Chain A
Amino acid sequence: MSGKKLFLGLLAAVLLVAVPPFLGLGWQNALTNVLIAALFATAFNLLMGQGGMLSFGHAAYYGIGAFAVLHLMRAVEGGLPFPTALLPLAGGLAGLVAGLGAGYFATLRTGVYFALVTLALAELPHALAPHWEGVFGGESGLSSMRMPSMGLDFGSSLQVYYVALGWTVVCVALLYAYTRTPFGRLTLALRDNEQRVRFMGFDAHAAKTLVFGVSAMMTGIAGGLLALSSETANYNIFSSHVSAQVVLHVFVGGSGLFFGPVIGATVLTLFSFLASEMTRAWLLYQGIIFTLIMLYAPTGIAGVVQAHIAARHRLPWGRLAGPYAVAAIGGLLAAAGTVFVVQMAEHVFSQTYRAAAAQGRWGDVALFGLTWAPHNPATWLAPLAVFALGIVILRRVRAPIARLWHGGEDEADTAASQPAHGAA
């Protein structure tokens, strides 16, 4: 098992190093963003998945890290000798300091109150940054240039990719090592039974503050990488959308497993890269995917995969294949119906179409290579019927799949994972 894991890890490393030079500029940038998002999500999950503290304000430490690195970059531009590849260190340091300070307050409360405090703490820099010229560059933000150092010019996005790769791999490895230390175990104990931690003589508040600080430090490094790759940042980096994205990444991937957030960050970042070019409604699809996963596969993608791997010797794969294929068809039908209706709505409710319709021109809509008449009820009823058929199939196939999975396994976990297959 361990040998297999090592092999998979090496394979991934070789692919990550060897493939990007053959990709286009857009893909190189997208992969850099994947790496940054993966580090951000893993750092967030140290707090959420291991410490049991749900933060809704991690954009604060991400942004602080980005601005710290930009300031250092400007100093380097001014002549300070500092290797460009090590710039994210400044982000980590700033994130640590901010995280210890904010964590002291936030960890005074637990549960949903903790989430609210982190949310409010993140609003502070968001409100202050546009008015604070010296530190955050006011409304327009700060920009800088990557300077050549150590024989590299850092002009190409491929070099930035490799810097991001190096930092992400090192930081994720450090975070993984953290889980193996006694303090990593204590972090898990804080999540599972804080009272017992206190009875054992530990200062739970100090420990939680420290976990918060470490998470913020790694988040700051991710923010620093973002600043390094985009060479600019403004107060929008503190907005709640940034905090929301990392929550989505972590829970779509699965917060219960160490590498779950990496999977979620990769899937959703690539999804945004591909879908945002095709449709304005990609954020809607992202929200739907997140909600479906919360409803039907609460352990996330990694959790569902893990459940299948754990039960691989026990499951009657031959008999499962049929129902799984039917479920996939049902999911595809439901997804196709949804996508069609959303895309039609996007066209029909767009400003240009409505302006034309107001003058009585209900033109046909070109979509998926065909033209559709929006005033024809069939245009709307047919996809709705497809959607309904998909849902009926999914509901029907649930019971047989649950029966095949039965045998000591948690029924909810298995039956629940099905509808998400089609949607994801």
Chain B
Amino acid sequence: MEFLITSLLNGAIYGMLLFMVSAGLTLIFGMMGVLNFAHASFYMLGAYFAYTLSGLFNFWVGLLVAPLLVGAVGMLIERYMLRRVHRHGHAHELLLTFGIALICEELVKLFYGDFPVNYQMPAGLNFSAFTVFGAQYPFYRLFIGMVALVMFAALLLVLTRTRIGIVVRGAERLPKMAEALGHNVPMIFMGVFGAGAALAGLGGAVAGAFFPTNPNMAIDLGVIVFVVVVVGGLGSLAGSLVASLLIGVFTSFAIGLDWSIARLLAPLGLGDWAQSVGGPLSMTLSSVSGAVPFMLMLIILLVRPAGLMGAKN
């Protein structure tokens, strides 16, 4: 019971963090068809900008201003780089953002060094929210989850209930029509890209204070975020929320379970044999928890290639 609840809680929070980063990616992908390889770099930039700002001013300034800075970086990249290569096709856009991701990683290493920086949450947020089975549960984890929930609600409301949302969705479905109605479609795309980058930056600014802020954080998270997009389905915001939570919870459970194929075979009297064969038969689930998202993705691909909530493509 204790294991169940702690894993569920941690998994859900980690899933919400994944959602914060993948929401912007899903938004950009759904709108512009651009698979942004630099998206996890925006997450990393958010954490580093917030670290610098929190040193100069305080944590809250960093939390609010860092996403705006990352959004500005995203808009510049869209305006002066992505738009140039648009006519070469989506594969080319993907390669360009891949190059930008490499540059971001190396720039961070150049200015901040090749080691984690000491970005910390303020003392005011560093307390335990409640105790689960005798263990203190940090409030900041809940804070990360709350920011993500607010973000999801705000995104949903803006996209479905406001004029901006109508224009943005119109520009996505029928760009020519939106243009004819007098809307500046390139400007809308730039805004959406900036907004997506800012969302990732917010994720970094919030999460960087709890998890380590280091130059590898983009690569570590980057691949998983793409898994979220594939599992969730083509540009579906709700899909990416479900996929994020699934991956978060599965990974969290896997970390705590020492199951192995050898143990499953033990009741059949084959346990010792499997143990002696070794390799994947004796590997515990906890030691390969990093591979769980990818296995989940392969299963989804086989069962439902369009993703959980994606339209058939």
Contacts and interface: CB of A to CB of B under 8 A. Distances in A.
Contact of A349 (B85, B102, B111, B223): B111
B110 A294 contact: no
A78 B305 CA distance: 47
B110 A105 contact: no
Interface string A41-55: 000000000000010
A123 B301 CA distance: 16
B116 interface: no
Given A111-B90, A294-B99, A346 B110 contact: yes
Contacts of A54: 91, 94-95
A236 to B, nearest CB: 13
A283 B99 contact: no
A294 B230 contact: no
A135 interface: yes
Interface stretch (B52-60, B262-270, B284-292): B284-292
Contact of B95 (A134, A240, A247, A342): A247
A54 B290 CA distance: 24
Given A128-B283, A133-B278, A342-B110, A240 B219 contact: yes
- Interface majority SS (helix, strand, loop, mixed), chain B: helix
Contacts of B219: 240
Contacts of B279: 132-135
B113 A351 contact: yes
Most buried by B among A127, A247, A248: A127
Contact of A298 (B85, B110, B113, B290): B85
Interface residues of B, number: 47
A253 to B, nearest CB: 13
B99 A349 contact: no
Nearest to A350: B113
Contacts of A134: 278-279
A177 interface: no
Given A135-B279, A247-B95, A290-B99, A345 B111 contact: yes
B230 A116 contact: yes
- Interface majority SS (helix, strand, loop, mixed), chain A: helix
Nearest to B92: A298
Interface string A132-156: 1111000000000000000000000
Contacts of A287: 99, 102-103, 105-106
Interface string B57-100: 00000000000000000000000010011011011101110111
28 contacts: A54-B94, A108-B302, A111-B91, A112-B90, A116-B227, A120-B227, A120-B230, A120-B294, A123-B223, A124-B294, A124-B295, A127-B290, A128-B283, A131-B287, A132-B280, A134-B278, A135-B279, A240-B219, A244-B102, A247-B95, A283-B102, A284-B109, A287-B99, A290-B102, A291-B99, A294-B99, A295-B96, A349-B112
Interface of A: 54, 105, 108-109, 111-113, 115-117, 119-121, 123-124, 127-128, 131-135, 240, 244, 247-248, 251, 281, 283-284, 286-288, 290-291, 294-295, 298, 342, 345-346, 349-351, 412
Interface of B: 35, 81, 84-85, 87-88, 90-92, 94-96, 98-100, 102-103, 105-107, 109-113, 219, 223, 226-227, 229-230, 278-280, 283, 287-288, 290-291, 293-295, 297-298, 301-302, 305
